């Protein structure tokens, strides 16, 4: 959505979603005009020495100083599309219309309930896990160790299957390094 202008061939042809500026007589996207305005935001810029000192807010359709915008590496001018006040208003509206995320409170002050044995144990009985909100694993150490032992026993009972791979279907490194 950069500042691309189209000069329409005849004065009556304007593409859908575009509007003609009364000042520069160019067709601009409707987003470049303030509500009900007939002059594009480029022509309506405040007359200042340096035009880069101002930004255009696409939400409130106004020119504002650069300090009113947050930084953005995505845009050419280095500013966000919306000013800080419009962004904060939008976030407040979004927070008001969306439900807060329910958080499970831990009922025990110095302990935690194990997800497998459902016993309340002290936090020292759980492995550390930085990805969890409380910093500990959901199962206690004894349950986790018994599960690991059970899985290891099952893996030992599995039969070992060897498959002969024909030379044509061998991996490339096996064909190159034939002595391995």
Taking 3-state DSSP, the helix, strand and coil percentages for the chain, each rounded to the nearest 5, stand at: 30, 20, 50
Q: What pLDDT is stored for residue 77 in this prediction?
A: 84
| Residue 55: predicted pLDDT | 87
Residue 122: its H or E element: strand 120-122
Q: What is the DSSP letter of 77?
A: T
Residues of the chain with CATH 3.30.60: 45-96
Residue-wise pLDDT for 31-40, tens only, equals 777 767 777 7
Contacts of 31 (CB under 8 A, 6+ apart): 1, 58
Residue with tokens 């061939």: 9
Give the whole-number percent of the chain exceeding pLDDT 70: 69
Q: First-to-last CA distance in the chain?
A: 59
Q: What is the pLDDT of residues 80-92, one digit of tens each?
A: 999 999 999 999 9
Q: Where is pLDDT greater, at 44 or 10? A: 44
The pLDDT assigned to 90 comes to 94
Average pLDDT value for the chain = 78
Query: 154-176 pLDDT, tens per residue?
Result: 888 888 776 665 666 666 665 55
Match domain 45-96 to its CATH number in 3.40.50, 1.20.144, 3.30.60, 3.30.870.
3.30.60
Sign of the torsion angle spanned by Cα atoms 124, 129, 135, 138: negative
Mean pLDDT for 76-104 is: 86
């Amino acid at each position: 959505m950069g500042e691309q202008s189209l000069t329409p061939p005849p004065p009556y042809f304007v593409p859908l979603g575009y509007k003609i500026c009364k000042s520069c007589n160019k067709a601009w996207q409707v987003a470049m005009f303030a509500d009900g305005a007939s002059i594009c935001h480029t022509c309506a810029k405040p007359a200042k020495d340096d035009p880069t000192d101002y930004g255009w807010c696409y939400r409130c359709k106004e020119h504002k100083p650069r300090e009113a915008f947050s930084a953005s590496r995505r845009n050419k001018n280095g500013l966000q599309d919306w000013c800080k006040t419009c962004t904060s208003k939008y976030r407040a509206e979004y927070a008001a219309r969306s439900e807060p995320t329910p958080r499970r409170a831990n009922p025990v002050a110095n302990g935690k309930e194990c997800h497998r044995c459902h016993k309340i144990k002290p936090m020292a009985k759980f492995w550390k896990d930085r990805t969890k909100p409380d910093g500990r694993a959901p199962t206690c150490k004894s349950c986790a160790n018994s599960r690991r032992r059970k899985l290891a026993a099952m893996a030992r009972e599995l039969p070992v299957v060897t498959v002969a791979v024909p030379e044509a279907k061998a991996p490339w490194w096996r064909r190159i390094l034939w002595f391995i």
